[in-house]
């Protein structure tokens, strides 16, 4: 079969905006466990497919009348109002748990009201009156609920009969509304929701929790810990009830690992860490994602065992590799993979750049390699992408990365980058304000995959390969392959210019 780059749909940058996602979505091995609620916490770096998993669950609800999904984020959240909901009688990390529990339960109640098969009718009717007498019908989500609580001074109106049951309340007074604090309502709401019967599954997906994230804001840490605790409490409360409630929390791995809380060990069995590899023939292989998109575009059945990459990549390239046993297609594959941080978003973006450079052709050396090819355009994109991620940790990231350009080489001798950083007045001013050192800046660059360490026995060591790795200032620095074009670096020291390392 003859195919060219113009025939391949690599997909939209954002999964939510991709109408073809179900055609080529690669289900992780744990996907069924997520659907069943065994996996409820999805952790991964930006661009690893967390939101794609959530989007597939949402689309499942569009096709299955027994599945209801609410995608909830922190966007437009009135942080000041949320802070006022703290229960200061609790320990710091627990102060927002009651607030998040209430907010999630309100979203659950809204979902249940969409279920035509939920019963009993009287309880459903009461629930509807409760929601619509307290909260807007049209404005959904956490922001709307928090704004409403602020307006009512944290009070909510409930029926008198919800206090002790209709049999203990005069019928004429059973539907009288009483205003009480939202925390008291939470326990009552739990009891009312557990009276509901339904064959449906209700997914409450908390995504985009990095909105407005600042590494220096301690409130973000307590906020995220509270969300984890509230989600787990809600799951356990409904685990043996007559409705299936599955809260799913999605969070960037760099934020998750900074939470550093012993209670997180309790959810280890429910945790999925998304980590991809360029290796082939294994789960979480990036090759699977690329192959799936080629198959979908070329109308090749997923069940057919073949390697679509070999249909699209030139087998006769002339790239120099230390491993001479690689085929031409695999040489191109590894060249591209080593310019990513092993994320689906990276390799797909590189392939999109290839398609724009050579739409009527295939993936070959002329398309992939060098400043006049897709590599330069991809390198510019990766620079901006890393900038978006590093901004919350290092506002002067451009100045820091520019120090690497000033040095001019991909391999940097120990101490040379720190010396260059200490000469930059903008970086010096920031370090003085933050009480930091040049090594601290190098560590941030290391944690953001801009640089790695170079060790001859293992070549280069990058944080995305192993989250436990830490910056070693005594080893040479190695700049990420994907940035060399953007930073206009020579790849080797003059003394080793004849040595070829891809």
Distance CA 378, CA 356 (A): 11
pLDDT attached to residue 478: 95
Kindly state the percentage of the chain with pLDDT values over 70.
Answer: 92
pLDDT attached to residue 498: 37
Q: Is the pLDDT of residue 64 over 90?
A: yes
What is the 8-class DSSP label of residue 494?
Answer: G
Distance CA 173, CA 21 (A): 53
Q: Is 306 within 8 Å of 312 (Cβ atoms)?
A: no
474 Rama class: left (phi>0) / alpha (psi -120 to 50) / beta: alpha
Residue ranges of domains in the chain = 29-274, 395-496
Euclidean distance between the first and the last CA atom of the chain, given in angstroms as a whole number: 31
277 - beta bridge partners?
A: 285
pLDDT attached to residue 59: 93
Strand order in the sheet with 411-412: 411-412, 477-479, 451-455, 459-461
Read off the pLDDT of residues 436-473 as tens digits, 9 standing for 90 and up. Answer: 999 999 999 999 999 999 987 667 899 998 888 999 99
pLDDT attached to residue 51: 93
Tell me, rounded to whole angstroms, the distance of Cα 248 from its chain centroid: 12
> What torsion, rounded to 10 degrees, do the Cα atoms 287, 43, 107, 229 define?
160
pLDDT-derived band at 323, boundaries 50, 70, 90: low
Residues 241-265 have a mean pLDDT of 91
Distances (CA, A) of 332 to 338, 375, 500: 10, 12, 15
How many CB atoms within 10 Å of residue 103?
26
SS (H, E, C) 207-255: CCCCCCCCCCCHHHHHHHHHHHHHHHHHHHHHCCCCCEEEEEEEEEHHH
pLDDT attached to residue 322: 59
Distance CA 274, CA 29 (A): 11
Distances (CA, A) of 337 to 175, 190, 326, 346: 64, 49, 14, 9
Q: Is 51 within 8 Å of 250 (Cβ atoms)?
A: yes
Read off the pLDDT of residues 294-316 as tens digits, 9 standing for 90 and up. Answer: 999 988 877 777 889 998 998 87
Q: Is the pLDDT of residue 139 over 70?
A: no
17 Rama class: left (phi>0) / alpha (psi -120 to 50) / beta: alpha
Q: Tokens 């609920």 identify what position?
A: 145
Give strand ranges (E) for 46-154. 67-72
Tell me the average pLDDT of the chain. 89
Composition of the chain by helix, strand, coil, percent to 5: 50, 10, 40
pTM above 0.85, yes or no: yes
Kindly state the percentage of the chain with pLDDT values over 90.
Answer: 67
pLDDT attached to residue 164: 63
- Give the CB-side neighbour count of residue 392, counting CA atoms within 13 A: 15
**204 contacts: CB under 8 Å, gap ≥ 6:** 70, 72, 104, 107, 108, 111, 231, 234, 245, 246, 247, 248
Q: Is the pLDDT of residue 168 over 70?
A: no
Read off the pLDDT of residues 331-364 as tens digits, 9 standing for 90 and up. Answer: 999 999 999 999 999 999 999 999 999 999 999 9
């Amino acid at each position: 079969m003859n195919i060219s780059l113009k025939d391949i749909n690599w997909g939209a940058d954002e999964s939510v905006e991709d109408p073809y996602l179900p055609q080529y979505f690669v289900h992780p091995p744990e996907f069924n466990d997520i659907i069943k609620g065994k996996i409820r916490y999805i952790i991964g770096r930006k661009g690893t497919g967390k939101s794609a998993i959530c989007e597939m669950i949402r689309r499942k609800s569009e096709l299955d009348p027994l599945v209801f999904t609410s995608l909830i984020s922190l966007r437009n959240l009135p942080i000041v109002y949320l802070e006022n909901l703290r229960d200061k009688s609790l320990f710091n990390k627990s102060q927002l748990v009651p607030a998040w529990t209430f907010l999630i339960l309100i979203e659950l109640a809204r979902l249940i009201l969409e279920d035509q098969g939920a019963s009993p009718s009287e309880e459903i009717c009461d629930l509807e009156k409760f929601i619509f007498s307290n909260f807007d019908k049209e404005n959904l989500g956490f922001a709307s609920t928090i704004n409403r609580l602020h307006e009512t001074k944290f009070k909510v109106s409930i029926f008198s009969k919800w206090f002790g049951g209709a049999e203990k309340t005069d019928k004429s007074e059973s539907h009288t509304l009483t205003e009480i604090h939202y925390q008291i309502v939470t326990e009552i709401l739990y009891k009312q929701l557990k009276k509901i019967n339904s064959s449906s599954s209700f997914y409450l997906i908390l995504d985009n929790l990095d909105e407005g994230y600042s590494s220096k804001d301690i409130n973000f840490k307590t906020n995220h810990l509270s969300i984890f605790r509230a989600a787990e409490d809600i799951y356990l409360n409904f685990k043996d009830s007559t409705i299936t409630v599955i809260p799913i929390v999605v969070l960037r791995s760099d934020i998750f690992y900074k939470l550093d809380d012993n209670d997180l060990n309790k959810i280890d069995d429910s945790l999925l860490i998304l980590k991809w590899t360029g290796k082939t023939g294994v789960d979480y292989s990036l090759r699977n994602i690329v192959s799936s998109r080629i198959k979908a575009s070329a109308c090749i059945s997923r069940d057919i065992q073949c390697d679509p990459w070999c249909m699209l990549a030139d087998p006769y390239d002339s790239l120099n590799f230390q491993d001479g046993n690689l085929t031409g297609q695999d040489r191109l594959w590894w060249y591209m993979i080593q310019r990513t941080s092993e994320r689906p978003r990276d390799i797909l973006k590189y392939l999109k750049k290839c398609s724009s450079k050579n739409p009527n052709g295939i993936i070959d050396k002329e398309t992939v390699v060098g400043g006049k090819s897709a590599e330069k355009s991809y390198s510019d994109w990766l620079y901006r992408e890393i900038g978006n991620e590093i901004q919350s940790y290092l506002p002067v990231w451009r100045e820091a990365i520019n120090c690497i350009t000033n040095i001019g080489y991909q391999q940097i001798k120990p101490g040379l980058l720190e010396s260059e950083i200490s000469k930059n007045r903008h970086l010096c001013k920031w370090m003085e304000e933050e009480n930091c050192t040049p090594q601290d800046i190098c560590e941030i660059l290391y944690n953001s995959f801009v640089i790695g360490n170079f060790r001859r026995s293992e070549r280069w060591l990058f944080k995305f390969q192993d989250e436990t790795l830490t910056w070693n200032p005594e080893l040479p620095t190695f700049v990420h392959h994907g940035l060399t074009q953007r930073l206009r670096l020579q790849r080797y020291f003059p003394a080793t210019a004849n040595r070829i390392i891809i």
